[in-house]
Chain A
Amino acid sequence: MARVVVDVMLKPEILDPQGRAVQGALTRLGLAGVSDVRQGKRFEITLDGDLDADRETVLNRLAEELLANPVIEDFTVRVAEQA
């Protein structure tokens, strides 16, 4: 069994309105010195069996087509556990 984690973040140059809102709230609620907040999303995908090369190719393709929007987002795919 393998657990694969896909992290998706807005590209650094892209405006992140949610991150900005969280940054404002953190400051208002008493955390001093917050200079930036970027918010992303994380997918944890559990697979039967190991992540072989074929499935890795498919997963990478789907990360680009479904999980992330490569026009405005970067993503990383990594294996968290390989049983």
Chain B
Amino acid sequence: MTLDTVAAAQASPDTAQPFAELGLKADEYQRIREILGRRPTSSELAMYSVMWSEHCSYKSSKVHLRQFGEKAPPSDALLVGIGENAGVVDIGEGWAVTFKVESHNHPSYVEPYQGAATGVGGIVRDIISMGARPLAVMDPLRFGAPDHPDTKRVLPGVVAGIGGYGNCLGLPNIGGEVVFDDCYQGNPLVNALCVGAMKHEDIHLASAKGVGNKVILYGARTGGDGIGGVSVLASETFDETGPAKRPSVQVGDPFMEKLLIECTLEVLGAGLVEGIQDLGGAGISCATSELASNGDGGMHVWLDRVPLRDATLSPEEILMSESQERMCAVVTPAHVDDFLRICRKWDVEAVVIGEVTDTGSLTIDWHGEQIVAVPPRTVAHEGPVYERPSARPAGLDDLQANDASRLPRPATPDDLARTVRDVVAAPNVADKAWITDQYDRYVRGNTVLAQPEDSGMIRVDERTGRGVAIATDCNSRFARLDPYAGAQLAFAEAYRNVATTGAVPLAVTNCLNFGSPEDPEVMWQFAEAVRGLADACQQAGTPVTGGNVSFYNSTGDVAIHPTPVVGVLGVIEDVAARTPQAWHTDGEAIYLLGDTHDELSGSEWAHVIHGHLGGRPPRVDLHRERVLAEVLVAGSRDGMLSAAHDVSDGGVAVALVEMALRADVGARLWVPDGLDPFVFLFSESAGRAVVVVPRSEEQRFTAMCAARALPAQRIGVVDSGLGDDAGRPSQQVLVLALPGGEQITWPLADLREAHGRTLPGLFG
């Protein structure tokens, strides 16, 4: 193959180019020709095609995502906002925390182990490129039907990949979600979150400033991994033809990533770096054009200096390669030797591949011939922006009209007792230990809470005990019924989960997983979800610090449910004051905080028992969420709460069972006055939590709730002495007194069996 140089492109303007195969539309290709005033070289075409893909350019989502900035509530905590590799939040005492969640959906479907592993690796590099030491990871996961054969291929691979990469890297996995729904059958969602911490003065940004500064590529060698992965994998849906179209898969090397973390933190700590960028999707194309675009506007690169794993790679392939575990740094000439020395110490290969110029142009040479000469902003930041048509889904009115009120409800105490057991055993509710036990949750010794607690909590400062809590949530059934409310409910649940453990919610990240943006109905769902989330963040006072959009998630022609996964980060002054999920102490009172309405549409009960989805999701009251969070945080700080658990999937029934099972202690419960027992147990009204209050604190706690107009109903007492052979752990029971004088008794051993055997039974 002959080299397509800039000179050749000028000389042969009419050469036909495969822009459509690279995912570019005819008008986009035309725009590239206008920008350059000639046809692009094949290397330039490769760069534009990956950088203008949906995945890198956010061309369909940009116009909506602006709301996150425009509606951002004033917050002193935000140190670095949207647009950098990851947002940075001030958590006090000179500490800053950065966190972000990204999708790796399509690669994880093709090759579950490596797809999920490299998803973890990618998000970790985002965090280190801000100058932070990674502290923990979390993984919100969604799969198709639990009993489908393909789920048995995808789920174990994804879980092993996350565990394999994260465990080798020495990062605890402190939570996330596992959700099953038929809509994810051909398109599982693998989202990965990482959180890291640094001192304020150590924050670094991605920019190439200072003419004459050197551009250093360091880390793993470049191979043929995932060539075109970004534009092909992330921008087109899978067809059913299978193996023939399988693209080259990226393979992760967590041991190299560990070296990269330590090496990067050392060169940053030594003050040797002017700007830094990780290499993820779009590889060198993305890193060089973004660094140049953010900096003084020019850069020259000698592409033939890039160390290769496969000597036969063409320049186009080198530019597009997604080989993992690589980083790019901008370093002053005086610091280059020190930088390379530190890389050698860590056994990390490093090469000067370019330098910063003031030409306003990104130029790339291949063995002395110029193959790229482009304005970097046009590649990195001024790609196409689409205001795509949107339309309310045609069937939505019918869907919303078909609500859960017409479903038959359990009538007798026996029915209720059985329904609780069935819901507790449902795959979405069941114990996730089979999955999370494959992750190291405690490595590094700073994990305070991990799954199945309401949020993952990590101690940041070992001297003062200051720490952060993170929760990710999304009920995509709610988002399907009403994307605006669904996104707000996802936010509210994550916000509540963070507060439940005693942390003050501070900032938000998101991973917006949707179908094709070219489908107006999907675009409407997306626009509504973004508007809902932006409004919610504004009202709750927690800014969005960054996030990720994943489009083209569908099986065949059917889009997934809109799945706006929301991550909320909170700060806690001393992790010793955290509120755990388990109750322990006899005689402590159990309270239900918030209002319970008859809200069963989209609920876990309707899904599990009736396979029903319709109606409208529970009402959102963000003022109430704020008050509830204040009470939960104050209660934790002042020692008024000994346990707490948010009420969400499966309602109060699931919350109570999980709290009882956690430490295997029973309780005496009753249905509050005026509530139907079924609604009490299974409604999924938002803005609620179950809390446990020591006797000595009851008066103070209920007075605090009353002062804030937060309903607090006493619904039970912790009691380990109720079983036949009272006091023996195996004989613990939950007893619920019904309004008619009857009572239901659930032995915890039965509930544990129901809750625990589901996933081992499916994947065991």
Contacts known (A70-B243, A71-B110, A72-B111); A13 close to B253, Cβ less than 8 A: no
User: Cβ of A26 < 8 Å from any Cβ of B?
Assistant: no
A39 interface hit (Cβ, 8 Å): no
Q: Is the interface of A mostly helix, strand, loop or mixed?
A: loop
Known: A70-B243, A72-B251. A13 touches B224 (CB 8 A): yes
A15 touches B111 (CB 8 A): no
- Whether B323 lies near A15 (C-beta < 8 A) is yes
Is A17 within 8 A of B253, CB to CB? Answer: yes
Contacts between the two chains (Cβ within 8 Å), count: 41
Q: Determine whether the beta carbon of A15 is less than 8 Å from that of B223.
A: yes
Assess whether B246 is in contact with A13, with CB atoms less than 8 Å apart: no
CB-based nearest A residue for B220: A15
Alpha-carbon distance A24/B256, docked complex (angstroms): 13
- In order of increasing CB-CB distance, the 4 nearest A-B pairs are A13-B224, A17-B253, A15-B251, A71-B111
* Bound form: Cα–Cα A62–B324 in Å: 30
- Taking a contact as CB atoms under 8 Å apart, the answer to whether A15 and B243 are in contact is no
A3: Cβ under 8 A from any B Cβ:
no
Question: Interface readout for A54-83 with B: 1 if CB under 8 Å, 0 if not?
Answer: 000000000000000111100000000000
Q: Closest CB of chain A to B292's CB: distance in Å?
A: 28
Whether, in the assembled complex, B386 has its beta carbon less than 8 Å from a beta carbon of chain A, the answer is no
Interface size on A, residues (CB 8 A): 14
Residues of chain B in range 383-411 having any CB-CB distance to chain A below 8 Å: none
Asked if B33 CB lies within 8 Å of chain A CBs, one says: no
Query: Using a CB–CB distance below 8 Å, which chain A residues touch chain B?
Result: 10, 12-17, 20-21, 24, 69-72
Query: A20 — which chain B residues lie within 8 A by C-beta?
Result: 253
Q: Footprint of A on B, CB under 8 Å?
A: 110-111, 114, 220, 223-225, 243, 246, 248-253, 255-256, 309-310, 323-324, 347
Report B-chain residues with C-beta under 8 Å of the C-beta of A15: 220, 223, 225, 250-251, 253, 309, 323-324
With both beta carbons as reference points, the residue of chain B lying nearest to A65 in the complex is identified as: B153
How distant is the Cα of A10 from the Cα of B250 in the complex, in angstroms? Answer: 12
Q: How far is the CA of A14 from the CA of B225 in the complex (A)?
A: 7
Partner of B310, one of A10, A13, A17: A13
Q: Which residues of A contact B255 (CB under 8 A)?
A: 17, 21
Residue in contact with A69 in the complex, picked from B111, B220, B252, B256, CB distance below 8 Å: B111
* Nearest CB of chain A from residue B219's CB, rounded to whole Å: 12
Given A13-B224, A24-B347, 11 extra CB contacts under 8 A: A13-B248, A13-B310, A15-B250, A15-B253, A17-B251, A17-B252, A17-B255, A21-B255, A69-B111, A71-B249, A72-B114
Decide: B243 and A13 in contact? CB cutoff 8 A. Answer: no
Known: A17-B251, A17-B253, A72-B249. A12 touches B110 (CB 8 A): no
Q: From A64, which residue of chain B is reached at the shortest CB distance?
A: B243
Measured CA separation A7–B253 after assembly (Å): 23
> Does the CB pair A12–B310 fall under 8 Å?
yes
Which B-chain residue is minimally distant from A24 (CB atoms)? Answer: B347
Q: Closest chain B residue to A11 by CB distance?
A: B248
In the complex, the chain A residue whose C-beta lies closest to that of B115 is: A71
User: A14 and B251: CB pair below 8 A?
Assistant: yes
CA of A71 to CA of B246, assembled, Å: 7
Query: B347 to chain A: which residues have CB within 8 Å?
Result: 24
Q: Which residues of B contact A69 (CB under 8 A)?
A: 111
The interface residues of chain A lying within 8 Å CB-to-CB of B225 are 13-15
Q: How far is the CA of A75 from the CA of B121 in the complex (A)?
A: 28
Q: Which chain B positions have C-beta within 8 A of A21?
A: 255
Determine how close the nearest CB of chain A comes to the CB of B308; give it in whole angstroms: 11
